[in-house]
Amino acid sequence: MSVLPRHLLPDTAEVADDGWLTIGGCSVRDLAAEFGTPLFVYDEEHLRARCREAVEAFGHGNAYYASKAFLCRAMARLAYDEGMKLDVATGGELHVAISAGVPSSACALHGNNKSVAELRMAIEHRVGHIVVDSFDELDRIDALMAEAVGPTPKVLLRITPGVEAHTHEFISTGQDDSKFGFNLANGDAHRAVERARRSSNVELVGLHCHIGSNVFVASSFGKAAEVMASFAAPFDLPELVLGGGLGVPYVEGEEAPTLTQWGNVIRDACDALGVTSRVGVEPGRSIVAASAITVYTLGTIKPIPGVRTYYSVDGGMSDNPRPVLYGSGYESFLPRAPFADRTAEGRLVGKHCESGDVLLRDAKLPADATVGDLLATPVTGAYGRSMGSNYNQITRPPVVFVRDGDARLVIRRETFDDLLATDVG
């Protein structure tokens, strides 16, 4: 038997009397009929529960939602309403957060190559803090402050602690060979702290690290906390932010610590070292990934005897580039029979004009899956919509938030005219 593991579905997922999957009390069949496919369906209760869990685990004001995982105004507002602050990494993310009504004082600006314009925007808007990534960035802030663009910004310094995250190379960020942060090993971190402490253009309030993303090994976080706590101890700064990166299970057999367990590992490590600073974190994926599914329509099915069967859907690498980027795995199921035995095997592909456009290399589906069926992939709430593209001039899918039987459209489907909106030729 190969049945979809229940825990990969959003919290409120149920099977209705007619056999169809419901999320937030809404039938996936009705959602697809109303909004079309491909479609991102987010379980609002699930999102809120994860935000609350993070706030509970780390304390009010210490949990920053890493908005790059999935950002729109509804999501920014939801995270803020549930007590989280927002981690933004570009002027664009800051703009969306501010236009959602999130106070800029609740936003923290990240980025390894912040532009002068982004730094100016952050200082003018008085963001809560800027996480400074390089000596060049300190130079840029000096130049801006010489023009008196705003009040002295509070800053954290991003330190590269030399801790391996045991995740995909593209999303490992804490090792010495990294574009991010000030290296601890070669003395840059010390030099940066000295410079920031002497500077009248920044107010140094803390240190930061982020070892990587989709990390399953809780001890990696404990290790990073230890390294950072010992480095930070002599400076006696009020804040220590240990980044995000908590992994989530995507496929059968994967397991990850919960936000609460993650909080315990970090708290134990910090308590053992006598850390007195506020300890913050920046979870992204662990807040949003499992809250959503993507619903597609199954189109062409091409069996090649002795080779494999290709199942094509009406989206692909433009709504979920993770399989192509990282070789990430996903599960698939039919919303009309979510827990049916999946005895057919094949490759699930999108509609883009390249063979690399693969969603599931080895998909399992019920044997009666047929052209026109709705097909869904769970755990697509993080780094799907946000990393998506218009490749092949495809119009990006809408996003609905479902809760208590109501479906709220929060991002509409793009139109062909949207594709021309920036084309001034």
Ligand X SMILES: *Cc1c(COP(=O)(O)O)cnc(C)c1O
Pick between residue 128 and residue 346 the one whose CB is nearest to ligand X.
Answer: 128
Looking at beta carbons, which residue is closest to ligand X?
Answer: 284
Query: 353 an active-site residue?
Result: yes
- Which residue, 285 or 403, is less far from ligand X as judged by CB? 285
Q: How far apart are CA 394 and CA 359, in angstroms?
A: 16
Smallest separation (angstroms) from ligand X to the CB of 113: 13
- Residue 39 backbone dihedrals phi, psi, to 5 degrees: -150, 135
CA–CA distance, 258 with 58 (Å, rounded to integer): 13
Q: Which stretch binds ligand X (CB under 6 A): 32-40, 280-288, 311-319, 348-356?
A: 280-288
Q: Does 68 bind ligand X (CB under 6 A)?
A: yes
Q: Is residue 104 involved in binding ligand X (CB under 6 A)?
A: no
Cβ density class 294-314: b for 16+ within 10 Å, e for less: bbbbbeebeeeeeeebbbbbb
| CA–CA gap between residue 109 and residue 90 (Å, rounded) | 7
Nearer to ligand X, 63 or 66 (CB): 66
Residue 282 is a binding residue for ligand X (CB under 6 A): yes
According to the binding rule CB under 6 A, does residue 107 interact with ligand X? no
93 part of the interface to ligand X, by CB under 6 A: no
Of 50, 114, 120, 210, the one binding ligand X (CB under 6 A) is: 210
Nearest to 352 by CA among 324, 391, 321, 308: 391
Q: Is 86 in the site for ligand X (CB under 6 A)?
A: no
**Site map (CB under 6 A) of ligand X, residues 235-274, x = contact:** --------xxxx----------------------------
What Rg, from alpha-carbon coordinates, does the chain have? 22
How many residues touch ligand X under the rule CB under 6 A: the total is 17
Let me know: does 205 contact 129? Beta carbons within 8 Å: yes
DSSP assignment of 330-379 equals: ---B-TTSTT----EEEEEE-SSSSTT-EEEEEEEE-TT--TT-EEEEES
User: Measured from the CB of residue 288, what is the shortest distance to ligand X in angstroms?
Assistant: 8
- Note if the bond before 38 is cis, omega within 30 degrees: yes
Catalytic positions, written as ranges:
353
Residues that bind ligand X (CB under 6 A): 66, 68-69, 87, 110, 210, 213-214, 243-246, 282-286
